[in-house]
Amino acid sequence: MTRATSRTVQPADTVKSDLLARSLERRATLAQNPEHTAYRLINREADGFPGLALDRFGPVLVANLYDGRPAPLDVLAAAQSWTGAEAVYVKERPAQASRLSAAQREKLAPPTPALGLARTEIDVHENGATYEIRPGAGLSVGLFLDMREVRAAVRARTQGARVLNCFAYTCAFGVAATLGGAAEAVNVDVSQSVLGWGQRNYARNGLETRREDFVFGDVFDWLVRFARRGRQFDFVIVDPPPYATTRHSRFSITRDLAGLIAKAAACVAPGGRLLVCANAAELSSAAFTQALREGLPERRHVVSQRWNEPELDFPRRPGTQPYLKVALLSL
Ligand SMILES: C[S@@+](CC[C@H](N)C(=O)[O-])C[C@H]1O[C@@H](n2cnc3c(N)ncnc32)[C@H](O)[C@@H]1O
């Protein structure tokens, strides 16, 4: 997708037009970089569009609507025209999407685009990796864009490492680690279909896999099982959803993060690393730091790096807290 020069399609008023132009200008360096074809174009209030997040995934745009606001079709049509995108998909995001049933999700995220022609799947590029995006697949389309810098860090720090990727989703961290030269990357998720998607992501990057690289099941069970068997990893990633209920476990990030960290740490080899991610506005930075401390009461650890959402395409309104908290710990 190239930036279209014509701006004949305009939002309804000049204020929105100026805000849209400013949002695209802010991301100009990303737009010009063929290494990154997926990034955020509009980040809600911080870009002057309350309730609207607009993401670019190669030739399609995906709009996420918060706060029950209707789709601003004039802005979306202008963004489509100015960026030269083929289609715009719309997802309505309620406050706690992870608590919805599959049927409720489908209603909020229709499989066909609001504007343009449908694309079942597309490839996007990020930092030399390729990922499969399914824009009509539901509320999540295959890649969490705010983790771009963290994926780059995983790739840069996993040469020769045995990696465990918990809550793997489409295995983006597993792919990044394998591209970074990991000795192995074991991806655990409770959904078979996302693990299948993950396998396709490996194939898209020309990476060979073994059956045991994809573990179907509950992370909480598997962490206990690995620890009991004495199976250790040099780099363990935990990136849980804010809430999750499976047949075997019930997780709430505000209540249970410290316990998850403790279980994960039991699988980290001496001198290894633990990457803890929390994508949840309801968990403050202080509570996140407290969970790190509580989860590792007896194990010496150093927080070697921290991340929040990337500043360039996920700007924050002044005075607001980051929703994404990530810490890399050396144990
Ligand atoms: C926020 S996504 C993880 C994103 C992923 N780390 C990435 O970078 O793309 C959450 C994933 O956790 C999985 N999940 C939720 N609860 C789980 C559990 N108890 N055990 C295993 N997987 C779980 C879901 O199926 C989903 O794929």
Q: Are residues 168 and 37 in the same domain?
A: no
Amino acid at 181: G
Looking at the domain assignment, is residue 109 inside a domain? yes
Residue 250 has pLDDT above 60, yes or no: yes
Q: Assess whether 99 and 189 both reside in one domain.
A: no
pLDDT tens digits for 107-144?
A: 899 999 999 999 999 999 999 999 999 999 999 999 99
Separation of CA 84 and ligand 1 centre (Å): 33
Q: Is 264 in the pocket of ligand 1 (CB under 6 A)?
A: no
From residue 75, give the alpha-carbon distance in Å to each of 6, 42, 54, 70. 15, 11, 10, 12
- Please indicate, yes or no, whether residues 203 and 223 belong to a single structural domain of this protein: yes
Do 206 and 106 lie in a common domain? no
What's the mean pLDDT in 209-230?
97
> How many angstroms is it from 169 CA to the middle of ligand 1?
5
Does 90 share its domain with 190? no
pLDDT at 6: 64
User: Do 75 and 149 fall within a single domain?
Assistant: no
At residue 9, the pLDDT reads: 81
Res. 5: pLDDT tops 70: no
CA nearest ligand 1 atom 15, residue: 244
* Mean pLDDT of the chain, nearest integer: 94
Let me know whether 166 and 122 are in one domain.
Answer: no
Has residue 209 been placed in a domain? yes
Q: Is residue 202 predicted with pLDDT exceeding 60?
A: yes
Pocket of ligand 1 contains residue 191 by CB under 6 Å: yes
Show which of 133, 163, 193 is a domain's final residue: 133
Task: Indicate which atom in ligand 1 lies nearest the CA of residue 219.
Answer: 20
Segment 16-26, tens digit of pLDDT: 999 999 999 99
Q: Which of 60-69, 100-109, 192-201, 309-318 has the lowest mean pLDDT?
A: 100-109
Query: In ligand 1, which atom is closest to the CA atom of 248?
Result: 19
Which of 133, 155, 181 corresponds to the end of one domain? 133
Domain boundary among 133, 162, 193: 133
Determine the structural domain holding residue 273 and report its residue range: 145-330
pLDDT at residue 172 above 90? yes
Residue 154 near ligand 1, beta carbon < 6 Å? no
Pair 306, 227 in one domain: yes
